[in-house]
Amino acid sequence: MVQLGFESFLKNSIPYLTGKRWALATHASATTRECTSNIDALVESRFPLALLFSGEHGLRGDVSAGDPVPDHIDPFTNLPVISLYGPRYEAAPEMLASLDGLLLDFQDIGSRYYTFTATLLSLINAAYKAQIPVYLLDRPNPTGCICVEGNVLDSTMHSIVGALSIPMRHGMTLGELFTWYVAQQGWSPDFFRVIPCQGLTRHMLWNDTKLAWVPPSPNSTGQTMALLYPGTCLIEGTNLSEGRGTAYPFEIIGAPWIDGHQLAHHLNNHQHPGVRFRPLAFRPTASKHATSACYGVQIHVLDPYAVKSVPIGLDIIETTRRLWPQNTAVNSFLEKLSGMASLDSLLSDTGYVEIDREFHQHQQDFLEISRDFWIYPRKPA
């Protein structure tokens, strides 16, 4: 059984209680195995929380993607909440000046696009400047810690959807990822400590952990979505619907002008491992093409351990651009997500297979430098 870093911290937090003032940066999906909010569990244990930080979607997960989150008082605890998504995106050292420590507890999804990475990075940098200790309470990576996909983001392309120079699917937990980051900065390991999960191994996908899925964001529906997201999130950089406003965001792709049977035929012929493409019609209730009849494909995951979603996303963009060139278009967000100014022209000139082949060296280089910071073994001891 996997025991979460938060649960280990809660059991051993008494030494931190006396005369301390702590902040917690978190969100709605950071729960115990019994689905109790980490905030509620800490308050019940009389842990001395003085301040809360929130990121995208808000502290309680009730804010839509991209919408600003205001500072506020949490109505359930009466604690002040400082938002790092809207009024500001960077934490300042003075926000932490009166604190004795900072807890970080976010459920990641295993992809560099997730804005929680930028939020945590900002807090860690501010805590270092304020000279207060940081405890990151680790959680599983839903996509496992074996497979790495996509290119490593160039440092000149950093943004809130690409805060670190890591692959699109990075194959690390947040504890491992930020242990690597702190080491890169040359900071003392005493400043930053990870409370690891117990019983977690690198091969585990989310369903292997037997933990309940509490959505980290409104469109994060489960393991299948998490596995496909590193690739199908690239569809956000096009005028195709990525399935927002449906029951299966990032699993359904289409548009009013697409022939779903034709698209499914081409994609299935490319034999992407672990998936099949099924033609379908759908009508999004929100986001791109809201209320319009759309046609496209649903990606069904048949073997979750074999899925490579980045070539799937690239293939969908390339194929729809080739089959419906007058309608399918890309926008500047594709460049920000991919970290490649020329991705659209490369897809036209060389194709997704060659691009994915070039990404392979990025992945090998990242594995070489990140391996020293792995916390979890490949197999059970």
What does the mean pLDDT of the chain come to? Answer: 95
pTM across the whole model: 0.96
What CATH architecture applies to the domain 5-216+368-373?
3-Layer(aba) Sandwich (3.40)
Say if CB 296 and CB 255 are below 8 A apart.
Answer: yes
Q: Sorting pLDDT into bands at 50, 70 and 90, what band is 13?
A: confident
Residue 18 has what pLDDT?
Answer: 66
Say if CB 103 and CB 74 are below 8 A apart.
Answer: no
pLDDT in tens, 213-250: 999 999 999 999 999 999 999 999 999 999 999 999 99
Considering the chain, tell me which residue range(s) the CATH 3.40.50.12170 domain(s) occupy: 5-216+368-373
User: Which tokens in the block code for residue 236?
Assistant: 């956000």
Residue 332 has phi, psi (to 5 degrees) of -65, -20
CA 242 to mean position of chain CA atoms: 16
Measured at the CA of 144, the angle between CA 369 and CA 183, to 5 degrees, comes to: 30
Residue 65 has what pLDDT?
Answer: 87
Mean pLDDT of 167-191: 95
- CATH number attached to the domain at 223-341: 3.90.1150.140
**Would the pLDDT of 318 be above 80?**
yes
Residue 295 has what pLDDT?
Answer: 98
Considering the chain, tell me which residue range(s) the CATH 3.90.1150.140 domain(s) occupy: 223-341
Q: Which of 342, 174, 320, 188 is nearest to 253 (CA)?
A: 320
Instruction: Report how far residue 217's alpha carbon sits from residue 367's, in angstroms, rounded to the nearest whole number.
Output: 28
